[in-house]
Structure 1
Amino acid sequence: MNRRDFLGAAALVPLAPAMSAPDWTGLHRSLKGTLVRPGEAAYDRSRRLFNPAFDGVRPSALAYCETAQDVAACLAFARRSGLPVTARSGGHSYAGWSTGTGLVIDLSRMNGVAYRSGTATIGSGARLMDVYTKLAKHGVSIPAGSCPTVGVGGLALGGGIGVVSRKYGLTCDRLVSVQVVTADGRMLDCDAARHPALFWACRGGGGGNFGVAASFTFRTHRAHELAHFSLRWPWAKAAAAVAAWQDWAPGAPDELWSSLHLLRDKEGLSVQLAGTYLGDLAGLNRLLGRLTARVQPASRVARVVPYLTAMQIMSGGPGLRTTFSAKSHMAYRKLPAAGIAALVAGVARPGRHAVLLDALGGAVGRVGARDTAFPHRAALYSVQYYADGTSRTWLRGVHGELRAHFGDHAYVNYIDPDLREWRSAYYGQNAARLAAVKAAYDPGRIFRLPQGV
């Protein structure tokens, strides 16, 4: 951030006034949207996140904002009252930090999707499958994830690993501009020329740190038909499948993306591979042949489908609420034989859990580590550890064993309350610059996540 950016932003932040008792009636009257308080019929439903593990959190109120002006009114209220404030787009924070005991700013009504001349302007609260569906009518899309109910705001602000990222980049790599409501209530249009430091931070710096993102404008890509595929191996071939996949997937042509899953569920242990290929079946079969020549699958399915259908398949269903715990790594190097053995043995332990390896490389790796706030450009793949329920015992065990091989790199969108050195794990060499942006645009730290910049 340059000196002019820093001084220009900081000079406009007013001194904090003396705190006053919350004027809920005044806030209600100032909103175009809806304010929900404890005791109201909608309260219990409104306060729930995607993960039922956090159903015990009881906010003082939830404001369903319909405009950026509503967001600004909520932030002014929070400054006056001294109440903590939390922004929520989809409510998918792994640590439950899409809610809190103060005021929750819910952006789900700010969910518009508009397309024009190669760009899409999308409200922060738009859910991913709705975005795919609406853009498909124009024959376009943006690179994004697979969870159908995740909010675009949180996804893009943390980077946005998705199912066509190797071809088109992360979600944040397609960002043209973002409208941010800052702690002092300003509504800033940020891009490469206007508030460039804040724009940089909004591409991988994580949600809830610098302001409330109201809307995003993305460059779209054409949404052609593509091939979807899935393979399965018996558990006896788990180690061989991991070894072959990590040699194959990160260096494949950009058009190919895949995710390797090692699972222990009610049906037992399994190894599954799912992916997409932006091409025809002949090309896909040639590429899959390089993998299956090393480790023959028990089953294999591949077909060409419309783009939207592929996104629906990859979503795995409607995204029902389910209780889980999670951790992550970013893999900068391949697992050696000892690491593969630890991974396979960890998944084989009793319980219901999974480890998901999502291929990176391609377009993701051709952006500089400091060009956006997302630092993990050299990672070969991401690693997600999931466990059913709220116990973190299995997670901590297997994550700790794999740490010897993966190091301390983690993905901020898979936020992990266990991490001690989370600044370096999430942000690497970009942590200091993010702290400077925070100091400029939120010097009073209105936005206070437990792992906030």
Structure 2
Amino acid sequence: MLELVGPDDPRYAWSRSQFIGRPHEVLPHSVARCASAADVVAALALARTRGWPFAVRGGGHSNAGYSSTTGLLLDLTPTDSLSVSGDLVTVGGGVRIGRLAEALAPSGRLVPVGSCPSVGVVGAALGGGFGSHGRLHGLTCDALVSAEVVLASGDVVEASEEREADLFWALRGAGGGNFGVVTRATFRTMPARPRTHLRMSWDFHHAAALIDWWQRWAPDAPDGVSVELVVLGPESPDEEPVVMLVGAVPDRDALGFPDALGFPADAQPVFTEVVDVSAADAVLLHATPHSAVARDPVSIPLVHERPGMSTAKTEFFDRALPEEAVAALLEHFAAGRRHGELREIAFTPWRGAYGRVASDATAFAHRDQAFLVKHTVLVGPNGAARRGQEVLDRLAAAWAILHPWGTGRVYPNFPDPAQADWQTAYYGANADRLRAVKSHYDPDDRFHFAQSIPGTAQVGKIQ
């Protein structure tokens, strides 16, 4: 029987909370704690009967707040089954990355997922899903084998290459909240390999030279090499920003790693940690957020604190940034820092296995880029409400500095409400086919939010 949690229930505050905080909370009328596909069917029927809007929450990490609603919140947390069979792993819609890593590590296998352990596995896959194993093994959605989906009609279907093929295509890169509720997903696992993990940090004044070096090296490094460059502004403005390299390589001796990487001659790191890890430990080490690495580069936690507000903007790039753009970005980054505000710019290498899948083979269209830049600001609970718009404006200004050299393409799992042509930004040339899939599987546009894919009948209404 479907379990509903309302405002008078002591569990309400926890049940309706999102991991990614927003400037102003959105409070649902009720939370439906869904433990099965049947519960999701019942919840959707209830929302239809009552005339309530609804939203679906797995890990609650929607950057734009799209897993919040004033109506009925479908919480998939209880849908937490996990089973391994041979080289396949099947997870419920509420399973998080950290738990998946812990389950697979003893067998030395992995699914290429992201680095935040509290993110939902299914949610990551529906928008792509990248991480430190991705340049070798591809996106999370590339490992998806099948999915159980509850449609707006209440029908439950199994989507795969052989069944409901158009829906399966759309789920891999554009499935978040658009076509149905994924209550179970099966992924192909890959063998993990022993790796060398690298963590290095430099003083902030080396940032420009390191970014210039990184963007000419990392995107074209061998597939097994995945090294991000992160510029981090700590929560106290009394602490200087730092530049970090965080990543892994499969064979440091063959690459001369890290000595032969060709760092700028005068950029001496203030911290270096190079650790050879087993295949099992490589899976667990991967599920570690940058903020945890910055606070304590030795410990490897699988959880981290919820911010009062977190917001991010991304863009893909297919060419190196010029010196003047990098200088302007860093000047903006360092200016006006506030207590309780953590700033981050992450440069993530692309290509490798990401680019070996055609841009129209799945709904994820961003296959040919060189790197991704993500601008993030996290604000503590006390500053989220009163400084929310200020934070958004500052983030928009940072994004705009680099945009003239960008592709205009945005990573779908970091939705950006400020994007005017968001369908092109998220889905590129795949947008037309996605609208057709939407019309077939959700003709009444029941799965609707500010940036949900419209069906062909709705296109004229929103232009």
Name the TM-score, length of structure 2 as normaliser. Answer: 0.87
Instruction: Confirm whether residue 103 of structure 1 aligns to residue 72 of structure 2.
Output: yes
Alignment match, 2:364: 374
* Alignment counterpart, residue 221 of structure 1, candidates 185, 190, 214: 190
Task: Please report how far the alpha carbon of residue 293 of structure 1 lies from its aligned counterpart in structure 2 after TM superposition.
Answer: 5.8
Alignment match, 1:14: none
The answer as to whether partners of 2:116 and 2:288 remain within 8 angstroms in 1 is no
Q: Distance in 2 between matches of 1:326 and 1:73?
A: 34
Amino acid at match of 1:76: A
Instruction: Confirm whether residue 319 of structure 1 aligns to residue 304 of structure 2.
Output: yes
Q: What is the 5 A alignment of 1:352-391? A: 352=341, 353-389=343-379, 390=388, 391=391
Task: Please report how far the alpha carbon of residue 69 of structure 1 lies from its aligned counterpart in structure 2 after TM superposition.
Answer: 0.9
Q: Distance in 1 between matches of 2:364 and 2:30?
A: 32
Task: Please report how far the alpha carbon of residue 346 of structure 1 lies from its aligned counterpart in structure 2 after TM superposition.
Answer: 2.2
Query: 1:86-112: per-residue Cα shift (whole Å, max 9, x none)?
Result: 110000101111110111111111122
Instruction: Confirm whether residue 53 of structure 1 aligns to residue 39 of structure 2.
Output: no
Q: Distance in 2 between matches of 1:295 and 1:361?
A: 29
Instruction: Confirm whether residue 329 of structure 1 aligns to residue 315 of structure 2.
Output: yes
Secondary structure at 2:241's aligned position in 1?
Answer: strand
Task: Please report how far the alpha carbon of residue 45 of structure 1 lies from its aligned counterpart in structure 2 after TM superposition.
Answer: 1.6
The answer as to whether partners of 2:109 and 2:283 remain within 8 angstroms in 1 is no
Q: Distance in 1 between matches of 2:288 and 2:268?
A: 21
Query: 1:136-163: per-residue Cα shift (whole Å, max 9, x none)?
Result: 1322110000011001121000000111
Q: Distance in 2 between matches of 1:156 and 1:226?
A: 24
Alignment match, 1:161: 130
Alignment match, 2:298: none
Q: What is the 5 A alignment of 1:50-89? A: 50-53=19-22, 56-89=25-58
Secondary structure at 2:157's aligned position in 1?
Answer: strand
Alignment match, 1:393: 393
Q: What is the 5 A alignment of 1:384-423? A: 384-389=374-379, 390=388, 391-423=391-423
The answer as to whether partners of 2:204 and 2:240 remain within 8 angstroms in 1 is no
Q: What is the 5 A alignment of 1:201-212? A: 201-212=170-181
Q: Distance in 1 between matches of 2:250 and 2:450?
A: 40
Alignment match, 1:91: 60
Q: Distance in 2 between matches of 1:311 and 1:36?
A: 35
Name the TM-score, length of structure 1 as normaliser. Answer: 0.89
Task: Please report how far the alpha carbon of residue 397 of structure 1 lies from its aligned counterpart in structure 2 after TM superposition.
Answer: 0.8
Query: 1:302-343: per-residue Cα shift (whole Å, max 9, x none)?
Result: 111222342244563412110222111111222122222222
Instruction: Confirm whether residue 438 of structure 1 aligns to residue 413 of structure 2.
Output: no
Task: Please report how far the alpha carbon of residue 189 of structure 1 lies from its aligned counterpart in structure 2 after TM superposition.
Answer: 0.6
The answer as to whether partners of 1:206 and 1:413 remain within 8 angstroms in 2 is no
Task: Please report how far the alpha carbon of residue 55 of structure 1 lies from its aligned counterpart in structure 2 after TM superposition.
Answer: 6.3
Give the percent of matched residue pairs that are identical in Structure 1 and Structure 2: 37
Amino acid at match of 2:250: L
Which range is displaced more, 336-345 or 407-416? Answer: 336-345
Q: Distance in 2 between matches of 1:48 and 1:291?
A: 46
Alignment match, 1:274: 246
Alignment match, 1:310: 285
Q: What is the 5 A alignment of 1:248-287? A: 248-265=217-234, 266=236, 267-279=239-251, 281-286=252-257
Amino acid at match of 1:269: P
Task: Please report how far the alpha carbon of residue 408 of structure 1 lies from its aligned counterpart in structure 2 after TM superposition.
Answer: 1.7
* Alignment counterpart, residue 325 of structure 2, candidates 320, 330, 339: 339
Query: 1:250-281: per-residue Cα shift (whole Å, max 9, x none)?
Result: 111111101111122222221111001233x4
Which range is displaced more, 195-204 or 282-291? Answer: 282-291
Alignment match, 2:273: 301
Q: Distance in 1 between matches of 2:187 and 2:77?
A: 19
Runs of 4+ in 1 over 6 A off after TM superposition: none
Secondary structure at 1:307's aligned position in 2?
Answer: helix
Q: Distance in 2 between matches of 1:250 and 1:441?
A: 38
Secondary structure at 1:418's aligned position in 2?
Answer: coil
Query: 1:113-154: per-residue Cα shift (whole Å, max 9, x none)?
Result: 211111111111101100000111322110000011001121
The answer as to whether partners of 2:316 and 2:411 remain within 8 angstroms in 1 is yes
Amino acid at match of 2:336: P
* Aligned residue pairs, count: 421
Amino acid at match of 2:315: H
Q: Distance in 2 between matches of 1:190 and 1:288?
A: 47
The answer as to whether partners of 2:209 and 2:264 remain within 8 angstroms in 1 is no
Task: Please report how far the alpha carbon of residue 294 of structure 1 lies from its aligned counterpart in structure 2 after TM superposition.
Answer: 5.4
Distance 1:44 1:324, change over 3 A: same
Which range is displaced more, 208-217 or 296-305? Answer: 296-305
Q: Distance in 2 between matches of 1:163 and 1:286?
A: 17
The answer as to whether partners of 1:248 and 1:291 remain within 8 angstroms in 2 is no
Unaligned runs of 5+ in 2: 293-300, 380-387, 454-463
Alignment match, 2:383: none
Amino acid at match of 2:421: E
Which range is displaced more, 284-293 or 64-73? Answer: 284-293
Secondary structure at 1:327's aligned position in 2?
Answer: strand
Alignment match, 1:23: none
Which range is displaced more, 50-59 or 128-137? Answer: 50-59
Distance 1:287 1:37, change over 3 A: same
Amino acid at match of 1:327: K
The CA RMSD measured in Å over matched residues stands at 1.6
Amino acid at match of 2:253: A
Unaligned runs of 5+ in 1: 1-29
Which range is displaced more, 57-66 or 298-307? Answer: 298-307
